[in-house]
A and B are shown apart, each in its own frame.
Chain A
Amino acid sequence: GDSVTQMEGPVTLSEEAFLTINCTYTATGYPSLFWYVQYPGEGLQLLLKATKADDKGSNKGFEATYRKETTSFHLEKGSVQVSDSAVYFCALTRSNAGNNRKLIWGLGTSLAVNP
């Protein structure tokens, strides 16, 4: 079945460091891909999305490119801040899902940024 695999955390970085969180997927067809972020004590917020191959999603300095050839959607940020400390989730929805649009989630990667 469809699945999402994320790199295990926790990831600990110093402020202004470069961030990469790896995400790969298994899915039939061409899923839509998402990164969600969960700040401490808060809910799940959409960070960015990409709906077709070679699309790049971006938001708040974060980027991820939909790579069909490697079935990947790695999250990157050039210079992290303490305020980026959170848990990051990679997720997908199946293409042609009709009314069945459930999100399939990775395990989440905890990021801690130290000043």
Chain B
Amino acid sequence: EPEVTQTPSHQVTQMGQEVILRCVPISNHLYFYWYRQILGQKVEFLVSFYNNEISEKSEIFDDQFSVERPDGSNFTLKIRSTKLEDSAMYFCASSDVGGNQPQHFGDGTRLSIL
């Protein structure tokens, strides 16, 4: 069964450094998402992406965050200058067309900011 893959599984970065989290969505999916889960808290929506542009973003997704689909297969989340509070598990998801299609998730990247 096709799956969403995320790399790396764990990223440790110094505060203030840039980090790029990578995702390969399911190949025929057209909608892409990033979510995060701070330890012990609920899963939070960050951003959705369709047709090569952001379709919705949350308050969390400020100017320090950006997303890109550089080559038709990868979907990346960049944090320009990381803060301690960015430490979380970041999940990528993708879904097919159709109003009720479920989102399929990767295993996540655990981001630890020191």
Residues of B within 8 A of A44 (CB): 43, 91, 93, 105, 108
Asked if A69 CB lies within 8 Å of chain B CBs, one says no
Give the number of residues in B that approach A within 8 Å (Cβ atoms): 27
Main secondary structure of the interface of B (DSSP, over half): strand
Residues of A within 8 A of B95 (CB): 101
Asked if A107 CB lies within 8 Å of chain B CBs, one says yes
Residues of B within 8 A of A17 (CB): none
Residues of B within 8 A of A32 (CB): 99-100
Main secondary structure of the interface of A (DSSP, over half): loop
Give the number of residues in A that approach B within 8 Å (Cβ atoms): 27
CA distance A101 to B101 in the complex (A): 10
Residues of B within 8 A of A98 (CB): 55
Contact present for B102 and A34 (CB under 8 Å) = yes
Asked if A77 CB lies within 8 Å of chain B CBs, one says no
CA distance A81 to B56 in the complex (A): 39
Asked if A82 CB lies within 8 Å of chain B CBs, one says no
Asked if A73 CB lies within 8 Å of chain B CBs, one says no
CA distance A36 to B35 in the complex (A): 14
Contact present for A103 and B45 (CB under 8 Å) = yes
8 nearest A-B residue pairs (beta carbon): A43-B107, A99-B55, A44-B105, A100-B56, A102-B45, A51-B100, A105-B43, A99-B50
- What are 9 pairs between A and B in contact, CB < 8 Å? A32-B100, A43-B6, A89-B43, A100-B56, A101-B95, A102-B56, A106-B42, A107-B41, A108-B43
